[in-house]
Structures are given as structure tokens and as C-alpha cells.
Amino acid sequence: MKSISITRIKEILNDSGLKATHPRLVVFSELIKHNIHPTADQLYDHLKIDHPSIAKGTVYRILDHLVSAGLVNQVSTKQGIRRYDANLDQHAHIYCIKTHEIQDYYNDELDSLIRDFFARKKVENFHIREIKLQINGEKEDPNKKVTIV
């Protein structure tokens, strides 16, 4: 995804009201580095190689805190499995129900259509803060990335 210095990650955590502990730095920086939308277990399995002292429960708690602080989004799959995304840019997700891959999808035209649609509608007693779109389907070739032309 993108590279952010540890100093910047500490600032982001502190600005959000979270103390920049070593486990939080490790978990958050790993999420920022990779765009794989991992589960907590997948993230833990990856982290324990270089950080054997980190506990699985710690990873779960840190992810909950990062979500609550608005630093990470939770993405649910069709099976109800929670995955995590540190990419807070406006984007949709494409989810393959066979391979369980989640891919980011950017389309300004689609975002505008959705925003304009709800701007024209009268949504009573409800203030829309964000709209998240997830497209569920099956990849025809599991080895190729999904593209929309």
C-alpha cells in the first residue's frame, strides 16, 4: 500500500487519543504496509514471526481500538468474517466468495452517482455519514486480478 514512518504512525495514534505502544505500532504499521484486508488471525500469524511476544488477544484488542478511533475500517465478508483495512480513502471493495480475496476498487464516477442519488432522495430522520459499497461475486480465473473496464 504505502510507506509511513514510525514517527508519523506515532503521531497518528497520539492524535486519535491512543497511546503509541509498541504492539499498537507493530499492528498498525503492518496494516498500513499491506493491502490484503487481513483477518485478526491472519495478521497475528504474520506478526508472530518477527514479534513472538505479541499475543493473539492483544492483536484483537488493538484492532478494535483502531476501528473505534477511526484509523482502520472493518470489512465484513459474506461469511461474516471481519477483515481490516487501513486505507481510509473513498473506495469500494470487490469480494470473491470463492477465494475470499478483497480488492480495493476506485471509481469517482460511481461515487458521484451514489452521492447524487441520495442527495436527490429525501432520507428522513437519518444523516448519511458515509456509504460503503462491497461487490460480492466469483472470479472466473482465481489467478487473475478483477478489472472493471
pLDDT tens per residue, range 26-37 = 999 999 987 789
Q: What is the pTM of this model?
A: 0.85
Q: How confident is the model at residue 3 (pLDDT cuts 50, 70, 90)?
A: confident
Residues of the chain above pLDDT 70, percent: 99
**Which residues belong to CATH 1.10.10.10 in the chain?**
1-88
- In the prediction, which pLDDT does 34 show? 79
What is the number of alpha carbons within 13 Å of residue 89 lying toward its C-beta? Answer: 12
Which residues lie closer than 8 Å to 55 by C-beta, 6 or more apart? none
Q: What is the pLDDT of residues 64-107, one digit of tens each?
A: 999 999 999 999 887 888 999 999 999 999 999 888 899 999 99
Say yes or no to pLDDT of 19 above 90. Answer: yes
Say yes or no to pLDDT of 129 above 90. Answer: no
Which residues lie closer than 8 Å to 61 by C-beta, 6 or more apart? none
**Which residues belong to CATH 3.30.1490.190 in the chain?**
89-149
Fold type of domain 1-88: Arc Repressor Mutant, subunit A (1.10.10)
Produce one character per residue of 75-99: b if its CB has 16 or more CB atoms within 10 Å, e if not.
bebeeeeebbbbbeeebbbbbbeee
- In the prediction, which pLDDT does 1 show? 52
Higher confidence at residue 122 or residue 82?
A: 82
- In the prediction, which pLDDT does 72 show? 96
CATH architecture of residue range(s) 89-149 = 2-Layer Sandwich (3.30)
Please give the average per-residue pLDDT across 103-127, as a whole number.
Answer: 91
